[in-house]
Amino acid sequence: MPSLGADMEAGTLVEWLKRPGDRVKRGDIVAVVETQKGAIEVDIFEEGVIERWLVEPGTTVPVGTPLALIAGAEPATVASAAEVPATVMPSPAPAAPPSVSPLLEPRTEVGRPRVSPAARRLAAERGIALDRLTGSGPEGAILYADVERAAAGTALRHAAPKRLDLAEMRRAIAAAMARSKREIPHYYLSTTIELTPCLVWLETTNATRPPAQRLLLAALLLKAVARALGEAPEFNGFFTAEGFQPGTAIHIGTAIAIRGGGLIAPAIRNADKLALDELMAQLRDLVSRARSGALRSSELSDPTITVTNLGERSVETVFGVIYPPQVALVGFGMPVERPWTAGGQVVARRVISATLAADHRASDGHRGALFLADIDRRLQSPEKL
């Protein structure tokens, strides 16, 4: 069961979209799970053949519970003790331990049972004492199936799941934000950015395009943040027990308001590398799927930073609350027309407020200021985004 946020404790398997024996590759959608954030499609991170399901539809299991066994290149039926199929953890939480090795741990202590890593992990998750188990593997090694048998019956069974439960989503937001304000020493910076170059560029660009191809200001803002993050890695990543871990890529969580209340911030992956048109297409797709409740698990666990964009019909400035374990949030307010000085004259210009909420454990205000200023600089040359 993938973790779709620091606040998620459990999820309900709704349905399997593949069958045992099916070959799967990274990115394939294998299941739908019901969470506090609605129904989420689980995309897989491994390649192989589905050996079997470990969780039945309708079952609620804690985060981290293996959902399926995926065999590697070799068919699992011929797997020897040294080739126990790896347990698949689709879309692990950012702070999760490294993926499971298919090899058995070497025997390190006399009298201590050999245990496959998958079995050890399952036992830890379910609170099963390994020394009370009898292994069915070679030399009495405890296999995954042994722990599974011991753990059987611990999962709760629930009625048919629903789509998007706003009360549940509110609880998820409450848990994540309470943790953020409890643990993260936020600092805040704010600046005002002149929008004329962006607006003129958008007007010219959109004038020759049909509506389906048009760009929104939001796409320019996201791209500017993504590009600026390339030079400011201390705002992109996760803060874990080991300290700050810079992200290996730039996946921008994009806050999307849900009609009726609540919000969700799925990732636009590798936003720094996407052309503006591609970024816009992904943004459109994400907004539509976020509102219909059809996001993928990796989109919720991947974001390395969040951008919130108040849009029109709003207020000038937003000061964000960081979404743990991320370390920064960039907020854009409503574009407004304000007196502005240019060439010694006061003129009316469209401007937007940009703010940074950042984790003081990972960065300092000086670096934050440079980062915000870099976003501003990039927005003055939208044609280069």
Partner 1 sequence: MTCKDLTAALIDELGRIAPETDASRLDPNAELREELDIDSMDFLNLVTALSERLKIDIPETDYSKLATFSHAVDYLVLRLGVAV
Task: Name which of 77, 262, 82 is nearest 167 in CA terms.
Answer: 262
Distances (CA, A) of 153 to 64, 255, 352: 17, 38, 55
Tell me if 203 contacts partner 1 by CB under 8 A: yes
Instruction: Please report how close the Cβ of residue 272 comes to partner 1 at its closest, in angstroms.
Output: 22
Beta-bridged to residue 344, according to DSSP, are none
Residues 1-30 that bind partner 1 (CB under 8 A): none
- Among 25, 171, 273, 284, interactor with partner 1 by CB under 8 A: 284
Binding mask 127-166 for partner 1 (x = CB under 8 A): ----------------------------------------
Q: Which residue has the tokens 């003790």?
A: 81
User: Phi first, then psi: what are they for 138, rounded to 5°?
Assistant: -60, 140
Distances (CA, A) of 130 to 146, 148, 247, 266: 10, 12, 35, 38
Beta carbon nearer to partner 1, 98 or 211? 211
The stretch near partner 1 (CB under 8 A) out of 75-83, 236-244, 309-317, 319-327 is 309-317
Instruction: Please report how close the Cβ of residue 197 comes to partner 1 at its closest, in angstroms.
Output: 17
- Among 8, 128, 224, 283, interactor with partner 1 by CB under 8 A: 283
The stretch near partner 1 (CB under 8 A) out of 51-59, 82-90, 96-104, 253-261 is 253-261
Tell me if 167 contacts partner 1 by CB under 8 A: no
Tell me the H-state helices in the chain.
Answer: 117-126, 144-151, 166-183, 196-207, 217-229, 276-292, 297-301, 365-379
Tell me if 216 contacts partner 1 by CB under 8 A: yes
Total number of residues binding partner 1 (CB under 8 A)? Answer: 20
Beta carbon nearer to partner 1, 157 or 259? 259
Beta carbon nearer to partner 1, 167 or 207? 207
Task: Name which of 51, 62, 63 is nearest 16 in CA terms.
Answer: 51
- Among 110, 159, 167, 207, interactor with partner 1 by CB under 8 A: 207
Beta carbon nearer to partner 1, 50 or 268? 268
Distances (CA, A) of 177 to 95, 119, 323: 18, 34, 7
Tell me if 339 contacts partner 1 by CB under 8 A: no
Residues 52-71 that bind partner 1 (CB under 8 A): none
Q: In this structure, what token pair is assigned to residue 254?
A: 């994009």
The stretch near partner 1 (CB under 8 A) out of 4-12, 86-94, 182-190, 212-220 is 212-220
Tell me if 214 contacts partner 1 by CB under 8 A: yes
Q: Which residues does 65 contact at the CB level (< 8 Å), separation at least 6?
A: 1, 54, 55, 122, 125, 126, 155
Q: In angstroms, rounded to a whole number, what is the distance separating the alpha carbons of residues 169 and 290?
A: 12
Residue type, 123: A
Beta carbon nearer to partner 1, 216 or 336? 216
Beta carbon nearer to partner 1, 29 or 199? 199
Tell me if 260 contacts partner 1 by CB under 8 A: yes
Tell me if 311 contacts partner 1 by CB under 8 A: yes
- CB-based contact 206:214 (threshold 8 Å): yes
Strands 48-53 and 68-71 turn out to be antiparallel
Q: In angstroms, rounded to a whole number, what is the distance separating the alpha carbons of residues 367 and 375?
A: 13
By CB under 8 A, name the binding residues for partner 1.
Answer: 203, 206-207, 210-212, 214, 216-218, 257, 259-260, 283-284, 287-288, 311-313
